[in-house]
Structure 1
Amino acid sequence: METTLRIALQKKGRLHDDSMALMKESGIKFNLGSGRLIASATGYPVEALFLRDDDIPQTVADGVADLGVVGENEYAEKGFELEIVKRLGFSKCRLSLAIPKSENYTDLTWFNNKKIATSYPEILKKFFKEKGISADIHEIAGSVEIAPGIGLADAIFDIVSSGSTLVANSLKEVEVVMQSEALLVANKKLSAEKKALLDQLIFRFNAVQASNSNKYILLNAPNDKVSQIVNILPGMKSPTVLPLAEEGWSSIHSVIQENKFWEVIDQLKANGAEGILIIPIEKMIL
């Protein structure tokens, strides 16, 4: 019988969408049906179990699933012993303390003897203990941001992405407690066969993420400027330089990181580069 990995994924929301996009780019397509909670896949020996985000850590810890894609916030809150296999870099957010806009905030001591509403009591308890703050932590599920407005709490501790929900509820963010992103986590007792499949899966994920964060660049340059331009380009090893039909000119090919794009382009133009083309990379094997 063929060994198959079972991966727990969030059944809906942004983390679900980002996870499914990564799977698709990695050549894995799930056979989804309406309302199905488990799905087989083509392109890789893996099946998906679709769950609530906060159920994923325990599902992996109990061995019901081998792997899971879960928000770091849920991983930290649940506290199960899991292996963090890879930080996935998407579904980023932060867990923050927020108070009514009308309040005058000075420092963390403001929270002493206050009532804080949150869906993440364990993370907040640990943080307040480290900081020497004594507060009444009130756990609620969902709609945390309305708690101060209805008199249920003095402040909240919740996920913040854009901050628009806080603004809509007349709250202001005053302390960031932790940053969060999607994690690929694994049960610590995987068999050798499943570990081998996991290694191959990570290889695919790395290739996809490398291609998304890098671009292929082609440009023309006068031969007397080639050495300066080659020194500017941060290629994987070194840029490729090819002679053009027009005498005295060369074509230079390389790979640049997307976050350095504009910085590099300005330097290239200043050193005589022309006809610069930037091309997306579909896959990048390092």
Structure 2
Amino acid sequence: ADVHVVCDLQYSRATSNPTRWVLVVPNDSPIQTVKDLEGKRIAAEAIGIVEKYLEANGVNAEVEFSWGATEVKVPDLVDAIVDITETGSSLRANNLRIVDVLMESYPQFIAKKESWEDPWKRAKIERLAVLLRGALMARDMVGLKLNLPDTALEAVTLLLPSLRKPTIARLAQEGWVALETVLTELQVRELIPRLKELGAEGIIEYPLNKVIE
């Protein structure tokens, strides 16, 4: 296509992992590699991708278009399928296993080349790209605020991962500081009980809309 790729947007429907096009067979299938597909039938929505993959591997197989519900077609209707997956959980739930990964991909933010070559439009597009990346980076992250005594500061800062270092400010109360940082939701769940044990008080977790590096 006559477009300019501004940036990759690293997200999928449920995670930040890439979407994968995978070759799938039932768990008890004798098919172990793409070479075992010689003369077999494969169902897929992305026929072009599958045909190029088979050609690259020197395999002749029949590829038929799937109108959806591809996972239920093996083994009764076809020998294998090529489907899109993110975590693989749906495949496992249907007693299927992945033989090979055809390709991985992320969504892309694209612009018409004529728009990208226009300085005014390009500036607008680049600003939008910054905001999109910032929103994606904030997707699994939260902010954390807390107060703690000076005596616990060193131990707490060693515990806390951060984009840089946590922000620390003196409180009006003698011997106390306020600390603020950014980290993932998973890290917060592990850290809050430990922070409390170290004497932290007024612990506040809050969502983030954007994180711009």
TM-score (norm 1): 0.58
| Alignment match, 2:111 | 186
The structural deviation recorded for 1:187 is 3.1
Q: Deviations over 1:158-179 (max 9, x none)?
A: 12355537855x6444333333
Partner residue of 2:139 out of 212, 220, 230 = 212
The structural deviation recorded for 1:110 is 2.2
Cα gap change, 1:112 to 1:280, in 2 (>3 Å):
same
Q: CA RMSD in A?
A: 3.2
CA contact (8 A) 1:97 1:158 kept: yes
| Alignment match, 1:174 | 99
| Alignment match, 1:22 | none
Which consecutive residues of structure 2, in runs of 5 or more, have no partner in the other structure? none
| Alignment match, 1:94 | 20
Partner residue of 2:185 out of 243, 258, 263 = 258
The structural deviation recorded for 1:149 is 5.3
CA contact (8 A) 1:121 1:138 kept: yes
Cα gap change, 1:284 to 1:82, in 2 (>3 Å):
closer
CA contact (8 A) 1:85 1:186 kept: no
Q: Deviations over 1:87-123 (max 9, x none)?
A: 2413353211122344234333322332222222332
- SS of equivalent residue, structure 1 residue 106: coil
Paired residues for 1:76-95 under 5 Å: 82-83=4-5, 85-91=7-13, 93-95=19-21
Q: State the identity %.
A: 26
**Cα distance in structure 2, aligned partners of 1:166 and 1:256:** 31
Which consecutive residues of structure 1, in runs of 5 or more, have no partner in the other structure? 1-60, 63-80
| Alignment match, 1:116 | 42
The structural deviation recorded for 1:133 is 4.5
| Alignment match, 1:71 | none
Q: Deviations over 1:105-153 (max 9, x none)?
A: 43333223322222223322343445x34131414141344544553x3
**Cα distance in structure 1, aligned partners of 2:202 and 2:90:** 42
Q: Deviations over 1:57-82 (max 9, x none)?
A: xxxx35xxxxxxxxxxxxxxxxxx75
**Cα distance in structure 2, aligned partners of 1:166 and 1:243:** 53
**Cα distance in structure 1, aligned partners of 2:24 and 2:4:** 30
- SS of equivalent residue, structure 2 residue 24: strand
The structural deviation recorded for 1:184 is 1.7
Q: Please identify runs of 4+ aligned residues in structure 1 that moved more than 6 A.
A: none
CA contact (8 A) 2:31 2:37 kept: no
